Amino acid sequence: MGKEYLIFIFGGTGDLARRKLYPSLQNLYMGGKLKGLRKVYALGRDRGKLDETLKELEDKFARLIEFVPFNVEDKESYRVLAKEVESFPGAEVIIYLSLPPQLFETAIVYTGAVLKRFPNPRKMVVEKPFGFDLESARRLNFQLKRYFTEKEIYRIDHFLGKVPIQNILSVRFSNYIFEGIWNKNFIDNIQISATETLGLEGRASYYDRVGALRDMVQNHLMQILCFLAMEPPAVMDAERIRDEKVKVLASVRRFGREEVDRFAVRGQYSGYTHELGRDSNTETFAVVKLFIENFRWEGVPFYLRTGKKLKEKKTEAVIVFREVPGNFGRLLGCTPDRNKLAFEIAPGTRVVFRFQMMPPTGLLACPMESSMEIDLAKHFGQSPPEAYETLLGDIFEGDQTLFIREDESELSWEIIQPIIDRWKEDPDVPLYKPGTWGPREAREFIEKDGRKWVVV
């Protein structure tokens, strides 16, 4: 008999489970990749929403899902977890915390106490946000390590399940033409953006507590930065790749609270407090400029930008190359744009290279920007798998490459903690008009460096 699996989804009747987890598990199961899956336990309080979801699933998979009335904060509720684990001796137990972050510690402690009574192999999956600040992230890691080894812990950042982000490593390390120029000698700056046109959209209570910096910069954008900046690992395995990401985060220049205004800008869209229903100085827009102090990247700024109710929905990483020395265009009385390589992550899945070409109007014409692009879905004849499908498959396989390690999570918080502290003590948040690219201060922030924002 092959390996058997049980998966307990805490918050199993919630929005994430219904929209992402069950469809992704179904795709894996129906594709023959989870043959050992025996039960999917939906732990929660509202069965009605789950029943609606079950109607949309394939019967063969839906029969594996069992609703279990559950109160995360009630120790007695965990008896059912013990009973079910006992019924499947030897089965691997996967605990998936799809919960509000304030319930993580309680769920970890109570679950860990139950599972230590059984010899079953187990894995603990923790959704983002992993902590609210550096102190809480350290405390959460401490509780996890009381009951689980690092090999059993899977801290999820669903951005890492996106194929375009994984493709950054492939483009860099599989193409000598790029890796040879992937350094301070050829790259002027790197811009990593995740911009949205929507506002709160039903996330008011959560979003106002965390804001743009915690919601996007500390996790998603910092992970993209690591993929762009890391050194090639000696061996392509999970620990070596994560080692290189940790080296990047450890090399990021630290700045004190008094320096924050030089390295970060925030904003809030007009109408946010009306939409929220109360006053708030939570930022809906954030820009952070980081420097990586190592041989490859010394002096190259990394701009991390995110915001809501902006002009365009776009998640991308843009590498802006240096201007050609003694640029030929200057001899013609014009200044050609710099070369750019962009990885579009959403809404499309493209790799775009922008370069200069002479138009067919004569040798002395100014070069014009031209574009070469590859749409991943069209090029390979299939759409990339949903991020959660990739990550869930890796969890079952025991591959931690695309998950966050303990030291990685804490270093990421350490970098932005001075910004959190500075903004907490300053109630003055610049406003910006919805449908623009953010506050005036964000444009001035990059223009004072002699640069401009790029959207490919």
CA 36 to chain centre: 29
* Alpha-helical segments (H) within 307-405: 328-331, 376-380, 387-397
Find out whether 316 and 342 touch, Cβ atoms under 8 Å: yes
DSSP 377-394: HHHHTSPPPPHHHHHHHH
CB proximity list for 61: less than 8 A, separation 6 or greater: 25, 26, 29, 30
220: annotated active-site residue: yes
Find out whether 266 and 423 touch, Cβ atoms under 8 Å: yes
**Catalytic residue (choose from 158, 220, 274, 379):** 220
Gap between the Cα atoms of 238 and 401, Å rounded: 4
- Of 398, 309, 384, which Cα lies nearest the Cα of 346? 384
Gap between the Cα atoms of 119 and 91, Å rounded: 9
CB proximity list for 49: less than 8 A, separation 6 or greater: 13, 18
Gap between the Cα atoms of 170 and 240, Å rounded: 16
Would you name the residues annotated as active-site residues?
Answer: 220
